[in-house]
Each structure stands twice: as C-alpha cells, then as structure tokens.
Structure 1
C-alpha cells in the first residue's frame, strides 16, 4: 500500500472522529446548560450517539468536556467584559460589567456553576477564573477610586452576588425570568458610595473565598 493509499484510508477516520467530537460538544452544551456541571456524562454520550469510551477518548475528564462546551459562552462573556472595562464612566462600567456577568448566568446552569466554583485540578479553568477575578478587581477599583462605589466592597462581595443570583435564576427562571435584574439594581444602589454606612462584619479574605468556591465544587 502506498503512502497516498494510507492517507486515503486515514482521512475518513479523522473526519469521523471530528464529527464525534462535535456531536459530543453539542450534546454537552445542551446537557450542562440544563443540568449544570454535574450533568450525566453517560447521557451526553447517548445523546451524541457514541459510547462513553468514545467520550473519554476525546475528553479524558469531565472538566475537559465542560471547558470545550462552555468555550463559546466564556469567550462571549470575556469579550463583553472587555468592552465594559473600556467605558469612560467608571460607575457605568461597573454596572455594565455586573449586568453582563449576571445576565450570562441566565439560561445556562452549567455556566452559572462554572462562575460559582473553583476547579483546582484544571490549570485552564484556574486561568479563566483568575482572569475573571482580575476583571472584577479592575472594574471595582476604578469605580472606588473616583468615589462612585463604596470603598469597603471586595471581590468576595461580588462573588456572593454571583451565588445569590444563581439561586434567584433557579427559583424564578420559568415564572419571572427577569427577576434577577431587580435584585441586581437594588444591590447596586446599596453599593453606591453615598449610601455607605459602616458594617461590623468584615468581608471574606481571598483565602476564605477560594476555599468556599472549592467547597461548592465538592459539595454535590
């Protein structure tokens, strides 16, 4: 058999593998959105029309599949966040960033779970979370520096809102799908510097916040 003949035999196999991978990603996007990051991998494989072994050949871990499935939504989120960070008015940039952050949780439980948790055994998810955390820090600090946002807000307070917003969306998604917007804007009023009053309880430290997000991952 010539080298050209080998190439002819291999091409359909590569195409089939690519098609299987695409089907798995499509099935995973649907299932993770509906069920969250702990969705059944067996069901994803069945919906894609492949065996669980094929799934693991393409995606050796759940996180590998999750990141592949969420990548388009993650990129959309990061692109929108970048535009918010470029806005001239620091307070409006802060509002736009949070509206984008919480709006992206709507209709996708997997993405909401991803925002809420830390996955310490994946360098890629840690990198993505670190980028998000830096964005939160940047947009918040900018609003604080001009006296628009109260100075005692921390990144942990924003993550608390992510957790709360996820539960609000779960509770109201079918009956009042825009209820989260009212809650966000009530909280934004509370975050304005002119409305600030001393709070006795300190915010979580960075270490406490990280541990809490890891605990959410482990508490199935």
Structure 2
C-alpha cells in the first residue's frame, strides 16, 4: 500500500461522525418541511452520502426518527411541568396547547410525531402518553376550579385537538397564525359557562392509541422502517 493511502482509525471515526451529523441535519430539515414520510434515499442523496452509509448509522426509519427528535420529548415535558405548576388551571391549559401548536405549526415532522402512533420508536410513543397524562391532570384541576365543564374527559380534548393539529400544514401556508383562531374556538367549547348536555358518553382512555392509529394510519407504508430497499452490504 502506498505511503499515506491508508486512513488512521481516528480519521475514520471523524469521517463517520461527520456523515452521521450530515444525515441527522438533512433528515431534520426534510422532515420539518415534508413530514416523516420523506424517502430515506432522498435524505442520503441530499446529505451527500450513499444509502449504505445511511443504513449503517440508522438501520430503520424509526431509528433515524428517534435520533432526529430526541429532544422533543424534553421540550414537551418542560411545557407540561410549567403548565402543572401554574395556579390558574384554565390559563395553564391555554398556554400548554399554545406551546404545542406553535411547535407543530412550524414543523411537519413534529406534527406527524405528536399525532401518530409510532410503536417502534419507544421514546416517541412515550410522548403521547406523557401528553395524555398532562392533559388529564389539567382537566381534573380545571374541573375542580369550576372553569371547565364537568362532563368532559381527557380524550375529548385529545380527539378534537389531534385533527386540528393535522390541519395545520394547510393553514400555515395561508396564514402562519391562523391556528390560534381555531384553537381558541375549540377550547371555548370546553368552558364551564353556557354549556349544553352532551348527547352520548365518551370512549375510554384505554382506546387512545387505537384511535390515533386509526385516524392517522400509523401502519401505512413508509412508517414501517423499510425505507427504500434495506441495509446494503
């Protein structure tokens, strides 16, 4: 082998880290603009690496999603803790959902993340459960304080807020802040003032994952991690 033609292990590690960082940055940008169904070969191409390199670092789509959005769970957890620490439960509900909608309106990847069940990404599945627990606690407190109607349950909010989240990509192109109008209208329906009896009972919260999987087709082609092809030799 000619002198200088072999790379040192340290250089190989630096190159591998560079490729990994490029893939993560490219995936983050494409997911934010187009959602989580972006073809994996497109991510590799725009990052300037081959499919084999992508699959060496991220064997499945879920592995890539988990790395790209590793910080989202912490952001949502902080929002939940702040809301639960507030004395005014109704104001806490409004502020909590404003923070979530600000995130999902600006990022289609996060929108997909919080409205779809992705069982193969354990940390991401935890987001929906954590959100449900936070909303449940806020609802209970607001009902105790008399600001939220007493005949609603956590799933009522989640059932209505989920579809509103999914509509945001279409509305943000018209006007980025249009979601604020519809969030305010929706939340007003949960206020204790001027309520009317609800005609049928809610479904149980044990059906939360099943409901969102059905609404958003979490098992549709493209989210199963196969991407384009598979790990290359």
Fold shared by both chains (TM-score > 0.5) = yes
1:218 aligns with 2:219: yes
8 A Cα contact 2:115 2:166, kept in partner: no
Cα offsets for 1:43-84 (capped at 9, x unmatched): 111111111121111112111111211223443333233222
Distance in 1, Cα, partners of 2:21 & 2:203? 41
Q: Name the CA distance, whole Å, in 1 between partners of 2:66 and 2:154.
A: 24
Q: Secondary structure at the match of 1:187?
A: helix
Q: Is the 8 A contact 2:23 2:44 kept in 1?
A: yes
Paired residue secondary structure (2:174): coil
**Cα distance, 1:182 vs. partner?**
0.6
Aligned 8 A contact 1:115 1:162 in 2? no
CA gap 1:219/1:205 in 2 versus in 1, 3 angstroms? farther
Deviation at 1:208, TM superposition (A): 3.0
What is the TM-score of this pair, normalised by structure 1? Answer: 0.88
User: Whole-Å Cα distance in 2 between the matches of residues 178 and 25 of structure 1?
Assistant: 28
Structure-2 change in CA distance of 1:130 and 1:209 (3 Å)? closer
Distance 2:125 2:204 in 1: 18
2:28 — aligned with what? 29
Query: Equivalent residue for 1:140?
Result: 139
User: Which residue of structure 1 aligns with residue 168 of structure 2?
Assistant: 169
Counterpart Cα distance in 1 of 2:114 and 2:189 = 23
Gaps of 5+ in 1: 1-7
Q: Cα RMSD (Å) of the superposition?
A: 1.9
Gaps of 5+ in 2: 1-6, 222-233
Aligned position for 1:5: none
Helix, strand or coil: the match of 1:27?
A: helix
Comparing both chains, which one has the higher relative contact order based on Cα–Cα distances under 8 Å and sequence gaps of 6 or more?
A: 2
**Aligned equivalents of 2:167, 2:94: Cα separation in 1:** 19
1:4 is matched with none
Counterpart CA distance in 2 for 1:127 and 1:166 is 18
Alignment of 1:86-97 (within 5 A): 86-97=85-96
Counterpart-to-counterpart distance in 1, 2:51 and 2:158:
35
Moved runs in structure 1, 4+ residues, more than 6 A? none
Displacement of 1:154 in angstroms is: 2.2
Residue pairs, 1:1-220, within 5 angstroms = 9-215=8-214, 216=216, 217-219=218-220
Secondary structure (helix, strand or coil) at the match of 1:195 reads: coil
